[in-house]
Structure 1
Amino acid sequence: MTGWIVRCISSYHPANVNLYIVQTVLIYVGPPIYSASAYNIVGRLMNYLPVHAVLNPNRVLITFVYIGAAVESMTVAGAAKNASAGSNLSEYKAGGTLIAVGLILQGAVETVVIAIVATVHRRCARAGKVPRNVRKLCITLYGTSTLVLLRCIFRAVEAFEMFSHLACRENCGPILSHEWFLYAFELGPMLVFTWWLNVLHPGRSLPNEKNRYLDLDGRTERLGPGWVDRRSTWATFVDPFDLGGMMKGEPAHDLYWLRPNEWPVCDDGSFALGTASNARNRVEEKPGEIPLAREV
């Protein structure tokens, strides 16, 4: 939002290079930050469906955030170089190269996120149990990631057009000559992204507790121990998919969902059935008593 406000101000002061740099950098770096919210939802979805998890749910956010930080750094550096290059053609090219690499990486990351969500969704479908809240979350994640991917494709096309018209003074190509492309393919997708996550807020479909999971029957929710990986933290970063354990047939995480009788049933409703809510506490507390839904 700040980037677009500064862009509006910058249009009245076209000779102010600092305003141009600020709006360029902020508009470029917004979508990758938005994507971090989707990464968080993916991790929480796999906490809720541990039996279908592709990798350690507790490592999804931080793994993708590190990758996103690399993308962000390249995008910021490229946008700053590009905006401040002036007549320096080598700086302009260097900035454009960094932006292009960042866009390619961002697009690759969004493709991986879509693939992970699709894998979880497909596993649920094969098990014959895709609750309404899970279906809604999957559709939301498909949509938001596709919007970011669409924006990356637009920016990549823009970058190629920019490099092919480095010395132009007029008729520099449709994207560079008409600002509505920027509003339609940069601002538009991010506005829809914001609207989508507010209308279909994931907090309505997922519990607050990370250790609350959906049982194998697709209806009952229990409070388990949460995802327990017996490997070191460093090992989970090096091999987040636990490929070594899968090849040996000995996964490094505890399959606690196969022992449902050990974990208490949540008696405040079920998100899968639409009877639970994060907005209010459905458990009636008595003095000195811990509600079942809060026991571990």
Structure 2
Amino acid sequence: MVLGRLVLATRGEALAPIRASRLTKIFVCGDVVAFIVQAGGGGLLAQQKTQDSGKDIVLAGLFIQIIFFGIFVITSGIFHKRIARLPTQESLVVPWQKYMFALYSASLLILIRSVFRVVEFVGGNNGPISHSEAYLYIFDALFMLGVMIGFNVVHPGAIIGRKAQKDSMELSGRESATDGLND
């Protein structure tokens, strides 16, 4: 949602590789598909005779999640590069860079966590990761805490919440009032 709102706040939709209205839909759907695949594989893990298939399906779901996330990061980078090279009038006012760097920081932590989950799952019940909770606390809980802290420090409410909607209404109100004067 942050990337989509940034695209809208900077009025940089022409610079985004994916339209802002589709960004959240595409990546949430990808995450849901990955979750459903993982859940299906998890269900197969419950029975002894389908455990191998279940493990493969869970891994496929984890890789689907990483692939969609990689596409998201690439999409963010393309938008960042384009808006830096061809800034819109609004991008000169909106502090979009701090949100992009917060997004990159969160993305890095989430990507490391996702790779950790693959390594954890490949190791299975007898792997070193499953025998120590420290790995889980570091690579899962601590990284997600980092994401939460990052987005509290650079809170996207100014571009997502009511303030953004109010500013947008004021901006569009000013534009429509001045449009008649320019004719």
- What is the TM-score with the length of structure 2 in the denominator? 0.78
Is 1:66 matched with 2:34? no
Indicate if the aligned counterparts of 2:120 and 2:127 stay in contact, CA closer than 8 A: no
AA matched with 1:181: Y
Is 1:160 matched with 2:109? no
Task: Give the share of equivalent positions with the same residue, in percent.
Answer: 26
Q: Considering only aligned residues, what root-mean-square deviation do their CA atoms show, in Å?
A: 2.9
For structure 2, the residue ranges without an aligned partner over 5 or more in a row are 179-183
Is 1:47 matched with 2:1? no
Alignment of 1:90-169 (within 5 A): 90-127=49-86, 131=92, 133-162=95-124
Aligned twin of 1:78: 41
Cα 1:71/1:145, change in 2 over 3 Å: same
Q: Look at both structures and tell me which one has the larger radius of gyration over its CA atoms.
A: 1
1:177-208 deviations in Å (ceiling 9; x for gaps): 22211111111211111222222111124553
> Which structure carries more helix by proportion?
2
Q: Partners in 2 of 1:66 and 1:212 — Cα distance?
A: 27
Q: Partners in 2 of 1:173 and 1:197 — Cα distance?
A: 33
Indicate if the aligned counterparts of 2:109 and 2:144 stay in contact, CA closer than 8 A: yes
Deviation at 1:73, TM superposition (A): 0.7
Deviation at 1:106, TM superposition (A): 0.9
Matching residue within 171, 177, 182 for 2:136: 182
Is 1:203 matched with 2:157? yes
AA matched with 1:223: S
Indicate if the aligned counterparts of 2:6 and 2:159 stay in contact, CA closer than 8 A: no
Cα 1:210/1:45, change in 2 over 3 Å: farther
Indicate if the aligned counterparts of 2:37 and 2:57 stay in contact, CA closer than 8 A: yes
AA matched with 1:105: I
Aligned twin of 1:229: none
SS, match of residue 55 in structure 1: coil
Deviation at 1:209, TM superposition (A): 2.9
Deviation at 1:67, TM superposition (A): 1.6
AA matched with 2:67: A
Deviation at 1:100, TM superposition (A): 0.7
Indicate if the aligned counterparts of 1:44 and 1:210 stay in contact, CA closer than 8 A: no
Indicate if the aligned counterparts of 2:129 and 2:135 stay in contact, CA closer than 8 A: yes
AA matched with 1:99: V
Alignment of 1:4-15 (within 5 A): none
Alignment of 1:213-292 (within 5 A): 222-223=171-172, 263-264=175-176
Q: Partners in 2 of 1:97 and 1:145 — Cα distance?
A: 25
Q: Kindly tell me the number of residue pairs found equivalent between the two proteins.
A: 171
SS, match of residue 107 in structure 2: helix
1:195-231 deviations in Å (ceiling 9; x for gaps): 2222211112455339949xxxxxxx9429xxxxxxx
Q: Partners in 2 of 1:139 and 1:264 — Cα distance?
A: 33
AA matched with 2:4: G
Cα 1:158/1:265, change in 2 over 3 Å: farther
For structure 1, the residue ranges without an aligned partner over 5 or more in a row are 1-39, 166-171, 214-220, 225-261, 267-296
